[in-house]
């Protein structure tokens, strides 16, 4: 099993998160580090601070040297796919080829209402998501892209320079929608991530992903399957390890551990020690 950390860019400073990522960069057990793509906090005071995910990610890509970096996950509704493709290519270059390209359909009504961002009905949102992922992959891999979808239109579009990773940074699709999200993951993702309550729910979703893969003739083993766990306090590393062991037994490839809000780098070594026997 592989392991990653996630820091929530809400209610804490840039300096706090940078310190944690720099420390994680030196602990080989942690393969990757993640933030999120929101403009408002998701917990506590919603009028509080929340750092923007992609500018933070590019800065942390420059500050670190080993650990892979990703946003879990970027809402397709927030940026035109062509803009996101260019951002991803640039961040991959800054990181020296360490970007994990996390994408999702988007869902946050509060942010959309506040900023005047359209949040389409669910079907249209996922139609746009399907087209958006395809457009991004094409832009990252083709010299020139022309794509005439129902919602996304590209005409002789370029994305230069290309990312370091070829054919493109791994596409990480986050979500639990059996019909649309997992179908898109089966087609395009190298990594699927889910927030789930328990192992049976995760197994049910993984079976749905396998079904979509079978429908298009893809080997589901090509897709890393991960789950998020939460470290509520530094003293709970053993409990997180027990949960991770259960998911490993169920076939999960990776566990992403969300760190306590405001936690310093001292939380990482005990967590790594607890998880090491599962690696």
Mean of all residue pLDDT scores within the chain: 96
Q: How confident is the model at residue 197 (pLDDT cuts 50, 70, 90)?
A: confident
Q: Write down the number of H helices and E strands in the chain.
A: 9, 11
Question: Residues 118-128: what's their mean pLDDT?
Answer: 95
Q: What is the pLDDT of residues 36-50, one digit of tens each?
A: 999 999 999 999 999
Dist. CA 182–CA 209, nearest whole Å: 5
Q: Is the pLDDT of residue 195 over 90?
A: no
Dist. CA 206–CA 200, nearest whole Å: 10
**By three-state DSSP, how is residue 61 classified?**
helix
Q: Which residues contact 54 (CB under 8 A, 6 or more apart)?
A: 37, 71, 74, 87, 91
Q: How confident is the model at residue 267 (pLDDT cuts 50, 70, 90)?
A: very high
Q: Is the pLDDT of residue 141 over 90?
A: yes
Domain positions in the chain are 2-278
CATH superfamily of 2-278: Luciferase-like domain (3.20.20.30)
Dist. CA 209–CA 192, nearest whole Å: 9
Q: How confident is the model at residue 131 (pLDDT cuts 50, 70, 90)?
A: very high
Q: What is the pLDDT of residues 143-185, one digit of tens each?
A: 999 999 999 999 999 999 999 999 999 999 999 999 999 999 9
- Residue 29 has what pLDDT? 98
């Amino acid at each position: 099993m592989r392991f990653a950390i996630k820091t929530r860019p809400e209610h804490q400073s840039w300096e706090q998160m940078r310190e944690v990522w720099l420390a994680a960069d030196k602990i080989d057990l942690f393969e990757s580090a993640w933030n999120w793509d929101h403009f408002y906090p998701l917990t506590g005071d919603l009028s509080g601070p929340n750092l923007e995910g992609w500018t933070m990610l590019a800065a942390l890509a420059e500050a670190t040297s080993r650990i892979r970096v990703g946003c879990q996950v970027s809402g397709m509704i927030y940026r035109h796919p062509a803009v996101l493709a260019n951002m991803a290519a640039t961040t991959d270059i800054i990181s020296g080829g360490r970007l994990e390209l996390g994408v999702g359909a988007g869902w946050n009504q509060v942010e959309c209402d506040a900023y005047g961002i359209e949040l389409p009905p669910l079907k249209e949102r996922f139609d746009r998501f399907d087209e958006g992922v395809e457009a991004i992959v094409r832009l990252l891999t083709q010299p020139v892209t022309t794509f005439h979808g129902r919602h996304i239109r590209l005409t002789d579009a370029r994305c230069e320079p290309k990312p370091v990773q070829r054919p493109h940074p791994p596409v990480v699709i986050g979500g639990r929608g059996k019909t649309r999200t997992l179908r898109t993951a089966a087609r395009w993702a190298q990594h699927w991530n889910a927030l789930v309550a328990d192992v049976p729910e995760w197994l049910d979703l993984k079976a749905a992903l396998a079904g979509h893969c079978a429908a298009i003739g893809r080997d589901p083993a090509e897709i890393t399957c991960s789950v998020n766990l939460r470290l509520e306090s530094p003293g709970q590393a053993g409990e997180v390890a027990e949960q991770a062991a259960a998911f490993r037994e169920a076939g999960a490839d990776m566990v992403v551990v969300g760190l306590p809000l405001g936690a310093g780098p001292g939380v990482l070594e005990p967590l790594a020690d607890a998880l090491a026997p599962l690696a």
